[in-house]
A = this chain, B = another copy of it.
Amino acid sequence: MSHANTLGQAAQTSAPLRLDALETPCLILDADRMERNIARLRDRLAPLGVALRPHLKTAKSVEVARHVMSSPQGPATVSTLKEAEFFAAAGVRDIIYAVGITPWKLAKVIELRRQGVDLAVVLDTVEQAEAVAAASREAGIAIPVLIEIDCDGHRSGVVPDDAARLVAIGRALIDGGELRGVLTHAGGSYGARGVQALQQAAEQERKSVVDAAAILRGAGLPCPVVSLGSTPTAHHALDLTGVTEVRAGVFVFFDLVMAGIGICQVEDIAISVLATVIGHQREKGWILVDAGWMAMSQDRGTAKQAVNQGYGVVCDIAGHAYPDLIMADANQEHGIITLRPGSQGTLPDLAIGDRLRILPNHACATGAQHRQYNVVHGESDVVTGQWQRFGGW
């Protein structure tokens, strides 16, 4: 849209853009909810004495990043080198690229470090550490490394008691690289149920990196950074002794999966997809909208939870959820909205052309389907900004 980026100013001098003038489907961000979500995690972490290094893979936007980072220079976490390049170009100077590095990506890491970005990489093998040390020597630039720790078996990393592998990786970095610390992510916490299980997942996450750091230090190796994080554990850790920083991303927006785990309420979810009613199948109790899986993503993360939210929870244009109304099915550009199975409720009376907002299962996945946040504040229908998102690699 032509007013993108300049809307913040334009809105002051001409008629404001309103939700009912947006083309649908599009992505809506309630900045008031976002600010509350960010404040909530900051308030939680402050007494625990750790820094927040937000994961920007959820936001993929300079404006959102500036709201969530503690300074315009960072610190930040990213999941792709494109994110690193994009945020570096916007002035971020302290970044961890938190997906295991491959040797051919090191040239780009070195390029960013030459530009003054303190970009660190993550790895879990001696082979990768040797490649980092060799590339560092060749460039005359020490690439900082965090050794990935596998705290719960859900993905990559060194198990925290594999002292031989940890020390071998650390030593492989000595001649050229820089061992900066250890890092883990409790991805398994997404499957935890109940406060106690979440507190246990948080403590297991903490213990894994603190133990690994002790092994490295015991072998005479440096380990200044002890990094962990996931939105569920960040909101449930009771003690973060020995930890230097927490990483989390989804907490900024929240989503139905987080609500299903109990990390937030549905009313806290800050992003939604604006859709228009395009038809009915009245005898089936279906309302059809112009947002399908292309707009919502195909994330069905709540299907494994106690309450299956289909492709999303349906709200009115002000963002209030209709009781029991979900997007039960979706095609590429069609969404089928209906009452939850077993509901005693009634369908809202919606005409063709009426607008709805759909809350997503997974903020990272739904956000990725869009190139712009349309920013609103609470119940106001005025769009106060249009913030660009980026995608790709």
Whether A73 is near chain B, meaning CB under 8 Å from some CB there, is: no
- Write out the residue numbers on chain B whose beta carbons fall within 8 Å of the beta carbon of A371: 391-392
A371's nearest neighbour on chain B, judged by CB, is B392
How far, in whole Å, are A150 and B288 apart by their CA atoms in the complex?
13
How far, in whole Å, are A298 and B298 apart by their CA atoms in the complex?
5
Whether A259 is near chain B, meaning CB under 8 Å from some CB there, is: no
* Binding stretch for chain B, among A5-13, A37-45, A122-130, A234-242: A122-130
Of B57, B103, B351, B364, which is within 8 A of A353 by CB?
Answer: B103
- Write out the residue numbers on chain B whose beta carbons fall within 8 Å of the beta carbon of A333: 57, 79-80, 99
How far, in whole Å, are A392 and B22 apart by their CA atoms in the complex?
14
Q: Are B100 and A288 in contact, with the CB atoms below 8 A? A: yes
The 8 A CB mask of A44-84 against B (1 = contact, 0 = none) is 00000000000001000000000000000000000110000
A97's nearest neighbour on chain B, judged by CB, is B333
Q: Are A392 and B370 in contact, with the CB atoms below 8 A? A: yes
Whether A278 is near chain B, meaning CB under 8 Å from some CB there, is: yes
Q: Are A336 and B155 in contact, with the CB atoms below 8 A? A: yes
With A293-B365, A392-B371 already in contact, the answer to whether A278 and B101 are too (CB < 8 A) is yes
Q: Are B368 and A294 in contact, with the CB atoms below 8 A? A: yes
- Write out the residue numbers on chain B whose beta carbons fall within 8 Å of the beta carbon of A281: 150, 156
A81's nearest neighbour on chain B, judged by CB, is B23
Q: Are A352 and B103 in contact, with the CB atoms below 8 A? A: yes
Q: Are A279 and B391 in contact, with the CB atoms below 8 A? A: no
Whether A334 is near chain B, meaning CB under 8 Å from some CB there, is: yes
A150's nearest neighbour on chain B, judged by CB, is B281
Q: Are A353 and B156 in contact, with the CB atoms below 8 A? A: no
Of B128, B155, B334, B368, which is within 8 A of A334 by CB?
Answer: B155
Nearest CB in chain B: distance from A247 CB, A: 13
With A99-B290, A298-B297 already in contact, the answer to whether A57 and B332 are too (CB < 8 A) is yes
Nearest CB in chain B: distance from A34 CB, A: 20
How far, in whole Å, are A227 and B129 apart by their CA atoms in the complex?
59
Nearest CB in chain B: distance from A387 CB, A: 15
Q: Are A331 and B279 in contact, with the CB atoms below 8 A? A: no
Q: Are B298 and A23 in contact, with the CB atoms below 8 A? A: no
How far, in whole Å, are A288 and B122 apart by their CA atoms in the complex?
14
**Additional pairs, 9, CB under 8 Å, beyond known A103-B352, A155-B334, A298-B299:** A24-B393, A57-B333, A100-B279, A101-B278, A102-B352, A104-B276, A156-B281, A298-B365, A368-B369
Residues of A participating in the B interface, judged by any CB pair closer than 8 Å: 23-26, 57, 79-80, 99-104, 123-125, 127-128, 150, 153, 155-156, 187, 276-281, 284, 288, 290, 293-295, 297-300, 331-334, 336, 351-353, 364-365, 368-371, 391-393
